[in-house]
Structure 1
């Protein structure tokens, strides 16, 4: 099963607040059947403890460890906000929502971290003009 599907990749020309971004990625994960609606609160709780901003314009919101019961399946969603998101003081462009069953989230996180560690790769992701193009660049996470 693919953890990232084309219907869970979005590009917005404008900006969003951190709360709006959290709501959007949580809704995408709920829509995918990956998490229960309670997962959004777990994402908010994690942000209160530690920011999920990773650098290079990337935030990877995910739930707390206590929220494992809210995760029904591993899934990923990617939302690019070309106007940016103020992520607790850091400028995020990419917000990647993650739900990982068991220890799968660690593997998913490391794949994303590798992709976003290369500035050339990030530039390509930022230059993608359609969600389909963005998905194609990120589909390696399904391997």
Structure 2
């Protein structure tokens, strides 16, 4: 089974300062990892216009719209660490942006795993301050 997150799909210490740019970057990592087609990025941005993917605890989990399944090649996640945060609307700062693409209905399981791992503010803070990609993988408990 293909890993759902690789070191190449993680960016540490990003200086992105705008929400849509962060979503595009998360999508590009998914494309580069072979998880999704290029069109999936547009569907991630469309999903954000419907409702914010900000989850609380300084975490955003952008993903495609309901019709995005055909653009997903295999399940995967991308992770962008933003130590200075990006405003996801209303002053809600995301320090971690985790792009997800779930094939064959696995997106809810992926969302659940990430949500449980990031339920504690200390976990998100640990990821925000992490100096290695492996630290983030370990904190999330994802296969890499």
Structure 1 and Structure 2 fold alike (TM over 0.5): yes
Given that 2:23 and 2:44 are in contact with CA atoms closer than 8 Å, whether structure 1 keeps it comes out as yes
Given that 1:15 and 1:82 are in contact with CA atoms closer than 8 Å, whether structure 2 keeps it comes out as no
Q: Is 1:118 paired with 2:129?
A: no
Q: Is 1:31 paired with 2:57?
A: no
Determine the structure 1 residue equivalent to 2:52. Answer: 51
In the alignment, structure 1 segments of 5+ residues that lack a partner are none
Deviation at 1:124, TM superposition (A): 2.0
Given that 2:62 and 2:97 are in contact with CA atoms closer than 8 Å, whether structure 1 keeps it comes out as yes
Q: Give every structure 1 segment of 4 or more consecutive aligned residues whose post-TM-superposition deviation is greater than 3 Å.
A: none
Given that 1:9 and 1:135 are in contact with CA atoms closer than 8 Å, whether structure 2 keeps it comes out as no
Determine the structure 2 residue equivalent to 1:66. Answer: 67
How many aligned residue pairs are there?
142
Given that 1:108 and 1:141 are in contact with CA atoms closer than 8 Å, whether structure 2 keeps it comes out as no
Q: So what's the TM-score if we normalise by structure 2? A: 0.91
Given that 2:81 and 2:127 are in contact with CA atoms closer than 8 Å, whether structure 1 keeps it comes out as no
Deviation at 1:133, TM superposition (A): 2.5
- The change in CA–CA distance for 1:13 and 1:40 in structure 2 (over 3 A counts) is closer
Determine the structure 2 residue equivalent to 1:19. Answer: 20
Deviation at 1:135, TM superposition (A): 2.6
Taking only aligned residues, the RMSD between alpha carbons, in angstroms, comes to 1.5
Q: 2: CA distance between counterparts of 1:129 and 1:77? A: 17
Given that 2:72 and 2:102 are in contact with CA atoms closer than 8 Å, whether structure 1 keeps it comes out as yes
What aligned pairs does 1:67-82 form with structure 2 within 5 A after superposition? 67-82=68-83
1:85-137 CA-to-partner distances (Å, cap 9, x unmatched) read 01122111100000000111111100000011012322322231222322333
Q: So what's the TM-score if we normalise by structure 1? A: 0.92
Determine the structure 2 residue equivalent to 1:104. Answer: 106
